[in-house]
Amino acid sequence: MTNTRFVICIDNSEYPASLEMHKIYRMMPDKDAEQDGDLRVIDESGEDYLYPAANFVIVEFPANVKIALDKSFSDSPDQTT
């Protein structure tokens, strides 16, 4: 089973070029960032950056959906969905 976590963007007002509303993004583990109220997210650039946690909802998917999402990210050239 995959350990990847996913988030959905619910506010891109400060980052319209980097984040799309209602889009699923991969979240990278970063306990320090989370303690500071941020999340490390792979954005539209394909790189991971810190964003305010309030801009996202963390979502849990069944194992088969996580596997499919992981595969779709690894198959896509820009690493985003």
The per-residue pLDDT for range 10-60, each reduced to its tens digit, is 999 999 999 999 999 999 999 999 999 999 999 999 999 999 999 999 999
What SS3 class is residue 27? strand
Q: What is the pTM of this model?
A: 0.84
- What letters, b where the CB count within 10 A reaches 16 and e where it falls short, cover 1-36? eeeebbbebeebeebeeebbeeebbbbeeeeebeee
CATH T-level fold of 5-75: SH3 type barrels. (2.30.30)
pLDDT in tens, 46-81: 999 999 999 999 999 999 998 899 888 877 655 444
Q: Please, which residues have CB within 8 angstroms of residue 48's CB and are 6 or more apart in sequence?
A: 28, 40, 41, 42
